[in-house]
């Protein structure tokens, strides 16, 4: 068969702050993230299959990414647990949607977290090829399976 890469773009908003950072990103601020998820596989070759000719239905890939990443994180604030504990304001209405993590919420670490989640959900017969996460229009981090013995 012929391997084909299929990519879906996602857009979402997240606020974060970098705990104990020595620059302006120590303050709570937000980004409009763009993420490209690419899987690789063989197109289905079965005329009786309604997804004949597809590597993956874009809707199925969208459902996985939305469930694992977008729905819990879009318009949330993501903070390192140490930063969250320092706020002592869990009843503050501005912090109703929180995603507390044990890591520094940099673009790189968020990408690692997202990758781990998606690797568990990618359907059999597909392989997660790469993920590109833009934090700003000109700054992004990338994960490639080939770089990580996947």
pLDDT tens-digit profile of 22-56?
988 888 899 999 999 999 999 999 999 999 999 99
φ, ψ for residue 95, nearest 5 deg: -120, 35
75 is catalytic: yes
Q: Which of 9, 13, 29, 75 is catalytic?
A: 75
**Reported pTM:** 0.81
25 is catalytic: yes
Q: Cβ atoms within 10 A of the Cβ of 96, count?
A: 10
Q: Give me the domain span that covers residue 74.
A: 4-148
Is pLDDT at 93 greater than 80 in this prediction?
no
> Do the bridges between strand 4-16 and strand 29-41 make them parallel or antiparallel, or are there none, so unpaired?
antiparallel
Q: How far apart are CA 80 and CA 119, in angstroms?
A: 23
Q: For the chain, report the end-to-end CA distance as a whole number of angstroms.
A: 20
The CATH code of the domain that includes 36 is: 3.30.479.10
Q: How many domains does the chain have?
A: 1
Q: Which of 13, 25, 29, 142 is catalytic?
A: 25
Q: Residue 150 — pLDDT band, cuts 50, 70, 90?
A: confident
107 is catalytic: no
């Amino acid at each position: 068969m012929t391997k084909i890469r299929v990519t879906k773009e996602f857009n979402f908003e997240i606020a974060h702050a970098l705990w104990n950072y020595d620059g302006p990103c120590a303050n709570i601020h937000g980004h409009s993230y763009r993420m490209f998820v690419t899987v690789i596989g063989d197109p289905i070759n079965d005329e009786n299959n309604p997804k004949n000719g597809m590597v993956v239905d874009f809707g199925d890939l969208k459902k996985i990414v939305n469930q694992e990443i977008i729905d819990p994180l879009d318009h949330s604030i993501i903070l390192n647990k140490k930063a969250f504990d320092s706020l002592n304001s869990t009843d503050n209405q501005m912090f109703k949607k929180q995603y507390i993590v044990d890591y520094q919420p940099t673009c790189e670490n968020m990408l690692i977290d997202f990758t781990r989640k998606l690797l568990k959900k990618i359907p059999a017969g597909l392989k997660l090829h790469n993920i590109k996460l833009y934090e700003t229009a000109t700054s992004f981090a990338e994960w490639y399976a080939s770089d990580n013995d996947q």
